[in-house]
Amino acid sequence: MGDLTESSTWRVVSMSAPKPKATWIVARMMALLSHYYKPNMPDGIEELAMTDWIDALQGFPQMAVDDAVREWLRGETRRPTPADLRRRCAARVDKPKPQIPEDQRPFKPVVVTDEQLERRRTVSAKMAEIHSILKHCTSTSQREDG
């Protein structure tokens, strides 16, 4: 089992962070775009444009999206595109962070082998089967008692 690099450690932490919901992305992008000229367009077109923003950003942690928006507002004067912010989010997720000494880490990344993963799947399937049997037995017993 090899050591994780700084970049992959940050990627594990950042990609496990909560992903923003579509409604949050829409609200954040509407706030961002309110700083720029907004041409008159039918509501349907604006809704389609918001789906473009959702598609571009929903895979990134909310913190990365929010940081990218704040950075854009501090340094750019033109209206951003979904690709502009997507690039900034990707740079944050892939950016190596300083290595924290092992004795100061709040947690250690868990590396699961393929064998362990398969074992977990097998146990999970057995537990689901047991749950189904118990559920069936409970519903049958309630009908007999009722």
Same domain, 23 and 64: yes
Same domain, 61 and 117: no
Same domain, 124 and 79: no
Residue 124 lies inside a defined structural domain of this protein? yes
Residue 127 lies inside a defined structural domain of this protein? yes
Q: Are 5 and 109 in contact (CB under 8 A)?
A: no
pLDDT reported for residue 4:
42
Same domain, 47 and 15: yes
Same domain, 85 and 133: no
Same domain, 89 and 123: no
Q: Can you give the residue range of the structural domain that contains 74?
A: 6-94
Separation CA 79–CA 53 (nearest Å): 13
CB within 8 A of 96, min separation 6: which ones?
5, 6, 7, 10
Q: How many CB atoms lie within 10 A of CB 35?
A: 11
Residue 107 lies inside a defined structural domain of this protein? no
Residue 100 lies inside a defined structural domain of this protein? no
CB within 8 A of 24, min separation 6: which ones?
62
70 sits in which H/E element: helix 62-75
Return the higher-pLDDT residue of 82 and 132: 82
pLDDT reported for residue 46:
85
Euclidean distance between the first and the last CA atom of the chain, given in angstroms as a whole number: 57
Residue 135 lies inside a defined structural domain of this protein? yes
Model-level pTM greater than 0.85?
no
In this predicted model, what pLDDT tens digit does every residue of 58-97 receive, in sequence order? 889 999 999 999 999 999 999 999 999 999 999 988 766 5
For residue 74 the two structure tokens come to: 């501090």
In this predicted model, what pLDDT tens digit does every residue of 8-55 receive, in sequence order? 444 444 555 667 788 888 888 989 998 888 888 887 888 888 999 999
Residue 102 lies inside a defined structural domain of this protein? no
Question: What is the tally of structural domains in the chain?
Answer: 2
Separation CA 39–CA 55 (nearest Å): 22
Residue 103 lies inside a defined structural domain of this protein? no
Residue 101 lies inside a defined structural domain of this protein? no
